[in-house]
Amino acid sequence: MSAIDSILTTEQYRTEQANAMYKNGDDDDMLGRDAFLQLFTAQLKNQNPLDPMENEAFVAQLAQFSSVEGIKGMQASLETMVGNLREQSLLSGSQLVGKRVAVAGGFGQGGGSRPTETLVSVQEGADLLTMSVYNKEGELVFRQNVGELEPGEHRFAWSGQDSDGNQLPVETYQITASAIVDGRMQIAPVSILETVSSVSWNPSGQQLDLQLLGGDTVSLAEIQTIAE
């Protein structure tokens, strides 16, 4: 058999095998172990006896195939692990539905008849605490001075009214707090308590997202406090 006949025979065999696998509709076998071994055997049978393949070429092909098989196995294991993580996260996250979580930053839904509850942290205590509420245009709509506070985290509720007692529309407001400590003014961190309405898995970030009753969505990693 000439070298040209050998090449033609090998190509003909590969074409027939590819057509057979295409007809069977088994796309996975096209890159699977059986297809590789069939082509590898055909390559051995039809090689040019005057110019046979080097042993190193056979070893390289086997090593490459082993690497691909190992990567596919690792990928399958990772996909299984991610699936288990998603299921466990959704199961544990479902217990948060109906509970209230503290969202840092001081931005949250307010106004209307529903009071907005906040958590204010004063680690060193405060001689005087001032709570301020701003609308989405940045205008001050409410301000209240609170007396002396012990160190720790304190809960306050804003009724949704302005300083004159008028009911404000439901929208996003910012609530800030400033504390007087030893004669100096400091900014006190404020978190808004929001009710969790549902939970969902975020595939892009591989994390659990919480949908809040006010319409906002936050990741579980952003939550620092869970309250009743």
- Rounded to whole angstroms, the Cα distance separating 14 from 191 reads 66
Name the pTM for this structure: 0.57
- Rounded to whole angstroms, the Cα distance separating 127 from 78 reads 54
What's the confidence (pLDDT) of residue 108?
A: 86
Quick one: 12 and 116 in the same domain? no
| 192 Cβ contact list (under 8 Å, min separation 6) | 102, 103, 105, 106, 107, 108, 116, 117, 118, 175
Quick one: 87 and 104 in the same domain? no
Query: Considering only 1-15, 64-78, 167-181, which range has the smallest mean pLDDT?
Result: 1-15
Q: How many domains does the chain have?
A: 2
164 or 57: which carries more pLDDT confidence? 164
User: pLDDT band for position 135 (50/70/90)?
Assistant: very high
Q: Measuring CA to CA, how many Å separate 112 from each of 162, 167, 223?
A: 11, 6, 25
Point out the domain boundary residue: 53, 78, 93: 93
User: pLDDT band for position 44 (50/70/90)?
Assistant: low
Quick one: 175 and 199 in the same domain? yes
Mean of all residue pLDDT scores within the chain: 76
Overall average pLDDT of the 145-167 stretch: 91
Overall average pLDDT of the 60-79 stretch: 68
Quick one: 191 and 102 in the same domain? yes
Q: Based on the number of CB atoms within 10 Å of its own CB, is 95 exposed (0-12), middle (13-18) or buried (19 or more)?
A: exposed
Quick one: 88 and 104 in the same domain? no
C-alpha closest to that of 104 among 202, 174, 179: 174
Which domain range does residue 55 map to? 3-93
